[in-house]
Amino acid sequence: MALSAEESGRLAGLLTSHADRVMSRWVEVAAGSLRGRLSQAELRRQVEDLHRSMVGTAEHGPLHLDGEHAAELRAVLADLSRGRARQGFSATETATSIFALKDVLLEVMEADAGESTLRDYVAYSRLVDQMGLFTFETYVRTRESLIADQAEQLLELSTPVVKLWEGVVAVPLVGTLDSARAQVVMERLLQTLVDTSSPYAIIDITGVPAVDTQVAQHILKTVVAARLMGADCIISGIRPQIAQTIVALGIEFGDIATKASLADALRHVLRLTGVETARRQPRRDR
């Protein structure tokens, strides 16, 4: 798929001898598909970068986009593609900016067509295709990581751990709990127990519409983990349907305290701690 040494040399020559024309035409053609959403100056700068790194790479001998000395060219392409993905351009718009080079090359090469022109054009065009695909892939990767970042931010937002009372923290869970979110919530809850030195935690699932086996397992594991750390969990707000699911799935809640509402759970904990202060500490039943 690489250009031969001669082809690369001729490409470098072509791009340098017609530098101004190539660049201005490239900007024009590319701008057409972007419909003025990117400033001419910025597009011009990107095209100049691309032009420079293409010439630099082609002068180095056989041009191969995966090759070692094409690293700079790849970096420029990746940079352009990442920028476009962040600015909200579509993948097509991004790749078209690269494909525009084909039109430009055709115009330049038509002017002084020789014996090898057709062959060269096909080879160059293949290179441009590769460059376009490369930007496409980078574009997709960038979008994927953007989505992952946003998902993580959402996760952070949707899982508050609050201190209810001295020694009592609560997590009010709202919305669908998937395995990933359940895991994040639980980790944060346990960390908060340590940070606030709270021996009691209330997990309130009033706002959770459904619980599947995995999520129930996560909650159970958290309760056991909290016990290992020396803290007790109370689960509150179990809806009738969820209670039915739990029983139907055969999940054993064992000796874990459950209360109808968050208020009941808090009252329960306060009674426990209240007894403790009145009677010094009773032996905790484990």
Partner 1 sequence: MERVPILKIGDILLVSIQVDMSDQTALQLQEDLAERIVATGCHGVIIDITALDIVDSFVGRMLSTIASISKVLDAETVVVGMRPAVAITLVELGLSLNGIRTALNVERGMELIAAAHADEHEELDDEPDAETASS
**Residues near partner 1, by CB under 8 A:** 186-187, 190-191, 193-194, 197-199, 221, 224-231, 272, 275, 279-286
Q: How far is the CB of 196 from partner 1 (least distance, A)?
A: 9
CA distance 70 to 60: 9
Q: How far is the CB of 162 from partner 1 (least distance, A)?
A: 17
- In the complex with partner 1, the residue whose CB is nearer, 248 or 278, is 278
Per-residue DSSP letter, 94: H
Structure tokens at 117: 């022109």
Nearer to partner 1, 60 or 268 (CB): 268
Q: Report the SS3 class of residue 13.
A: helix
Shortest spacing between CB 177 and partner 1, in angstroms: 17
Closest CB to partner 1 among residues 25, 259: 259
Cα separation, 112 vs 89, whole angstroms: 36
Residue closer to partner 1 (CB basis): 149 or 187: 187
Nearest CB to partner 1, comparing residues 102 and 268: 268
CB of 262 to partner 1, least distance (A): 20
Shortest CB 189 distance to partner 1, Å: 8
* Alpha carbon distance 13, 6 (integer Å): 10
Residue 54: C-alpha distances to residues 14, 64, 147, 187, 286 (Å): 11, 11, 32, 49, 71
DSSP letter for 67, please.
S
Q: Minimum CB separation from partner 1 for residue 237, in Å?
A: 22
Type of residue at 70 = A
Q: Which of 123/231 has CB closer to partner 1?
A: 231
Helix axes 71-87 and 40-58, enclosed angle (nearest 10): 160
Which among 46, 127, 135, 51 has a CA at the least distance from the CA of 93?
A: 135
